Structure 1
Amino acid sequence: MPDTPFAALHRRPGRPLLLANAWDHGSAALLAAEGFEAIGTTSLGVAAAAGLPDGASATRQETVRLARRLGRSGWLVSVDVEGGFSEEPAEVAALAVELAAAGVAGINLEDGRADGTLAPAELHAAKIAAVKAAAPELFVNARTDTWWAGRPDPLPEAEDRLKQYQEAGADGVFTPGLTDPALIAGLLGELTVPLNLLWSPAGPSYRELAALGVGRVSLGSLLYRTALAAALDTARAVRDGGEVRPVLGYAQAQELHGQG
């Protein structure tokens, strides 16, 4: 694991990094102003804002553009790069170098594909190794979508994949969809790097995950989807004569976009 301020946030027993995920500069600035220690990006939010599909390797340009904007802010930023926008490890490594040069502290690299299948573990491990060789200071969070791939028993395959990803040089591993406390505890006992979990209303709370020993808790696309729901609720309230909840003032929003 690189010896960086971002990596250190994963090494605090009982206090995992709560990574709040933004989709543009304004949402990132709002989270940073609230005191969140690091900002992640959500590939769904970045893709949807550009009118493009998520997880389909269609948003490399938009992802890099946002990363450059956020990287100049001085915040600790981790960028969701889907599967690296390429099946070629050398091309994924080139992207990593570009992001590191932009000031990004880490990336999230996933093995899930748009069609619901998983990339071969050997290929994903090769991407991880290529990234760490090209940009060793970049924190690589290696994600497996085993729990989202419809496996009847995802644990054995997840354990095998995470072992390969660790050996390839991943600094942390991510298993979205895993919510069972007993399975989480068992998996933690096999890992030598921090475990990242996706917060879920159906799973343990942040405090419970902290007690289990999780190193990082991500919000994923939750904030983006919440913002969409709030926007729709407000439009409906105005149309139907309902109550409009207090919102961020114009001047406050303008100030956020002047930061960084």
Structure 2
Amino acid sequence: MTKTVSNQAEKAQIFADLHQPGNPLVLYNIWDAGSAKIVEEAGAKAVATGSWSVAAAQGFDDGEKLPLEIALMTAKRICETVDVPVSLDFEGAYAVGPTGVSTNVRLALKQGIVGINFEDQVIGGKGLHPQDMQVKRIAAARATADEFGVPLFINARTDLFLHESNTDWHSGLMPQALERLAAYTEAGASGFFVPGLTDPELIGRVCEAAEIPVNVFKTPAAPDHETLASLGVARISHGPNPFRQAMRDLATRYAETMG
């Protein structure tokens, strides 16, 4: 194992250890090397990109519209700029089949990242990948990371709740969510991400059932950090909200300057 990979492996373990149920890792998602450095200097123990923000910062829409080479270049610059662990929102790994996932996860690891968000929705299509297919995709990512020599934190994201805007129906999705949680865990996932889920009782049920850290997306509709911690959440993500706020501030300051 090379010295560089060894250091990357150490950072990966540090990142994993930051996921503590009841004392969640809060990730105020960044979008480039500059924002990563600012957040690190403000005291962040780790940084994570948000795919929506990274794409928007380069003038692209979300959903793997940002070319893979730009996504990887951005990840590399962030890893070279900060000392803390870096997690990459890799969407669907820019691939469908396990072989493509493996190839692209290896490319991402070469940039220095120690974690990925890996979602089960069909990018550019409809619905979610069948559970058995997503299991194969996660297993491919895990095998690739093991071969590379880095205990990559695979944050397996399910879009079940995000795709259902009527929160009254979220309780009916719980059996599917818990089934995917168990299957993804067995396939090698390090964490389980449930964006769109905001009901405290349902979040608590996921945390209770999980053997791996649970990640929740912090929105105005979601419980506050203290409540999420009490429910057993181990990771809180802010997604595109920091970028959107920064851009609103920029527009406001420009308007004030112009009088």
Shorter-chain TM-score bucket reads: 0.7 to 0.9
Q: State the partner residue of 1:169.
A: 188
Q: State the partner residue of 1:128.
A: 138
User: Shift of residue 46 of structure 1?
Assistant: 1.3
1:13-24 aligned within 5 A: 13-24=21-32
Specify the code of the residue in structure 1 equivalent to 2:207.
Answer: L
Q: Aligned to 2:215, what secondary structure does the other structure show?
A: strand
Identity of counterpart residues, as a percentage?
Answer: 38
Relative to structure 1, the CA distance from residue 13 to residue 174 in structure 2 (aligned partners, 3 Å threshold; closer, same or farther) is closer
Structure 1: gaps of 5 or more residues: 242-260
TM-score in terms of structure 2 length: 0.86
Q: State the partner residue of 1:247.
A: none
Cα contact 1:196–1:214 (8 A) shared by 2 = yes
Of 156-165 and 39-48, deviating more is 156-165
2:128 aligned residue (107, 110, 118): 118
Tell whether 2:155 aligns with 1:141. Answer: yes
Paired residues, what number?
238
User: Shift of residue 236 of structure 1?
Assistant: 2.2
TM-score in terms of structure 1 length: 0.86
Q: State the partner residue of 2:3.
A: none
2:237 aligned residue (187, 196, 218): 218
Of 106-115 and 84-93, deviating more is 106-115
Cα contact 2:50–2:89 (8 A) shared by 1 = yes
The 2-side partners of 1:172 and 1:158 are apart by: 13
Cα contact 1:57–1:85 (8 A) shared by 2 = no
1:71-90 aligned within 5 A: 71-72=79-80, 73-90=82-99
The 2-side partners of 1:130 and 1:79 are apart by: 17
Structure 2: gaps of 5 or more residues: 1-9
C-alpha RMSD over aligned residues: 1.8
Q: State the partner residue of 1:48.
A: 56
Q: Deviations over 1:174-213 (max 9, x none)?
A: 0001111111111111111000000111111111111111
Q: Deviations over 1:12-55 (max 9, x none)?
A: 34311001211111100000000111100011111112222211
Q: State the partner residue of 1:258.
A: none
Cα contact 1:172–1:196 (8 A) shared by 2 = yes
The 1-side partners of 2:65 and 2:59 are apart by: 13
Q: State the partner residue of 1:194.
A: 213
User: Shift of residue 117 of structure 1?
Assistant: 1.8
Specify the code of the residue in structure 1 equivalent to 2:251.
Answer: L
The 2-side partners of 1:65 and 1:71 are apart by: 10
1:205 aligned residue (199, 212, 224): 224
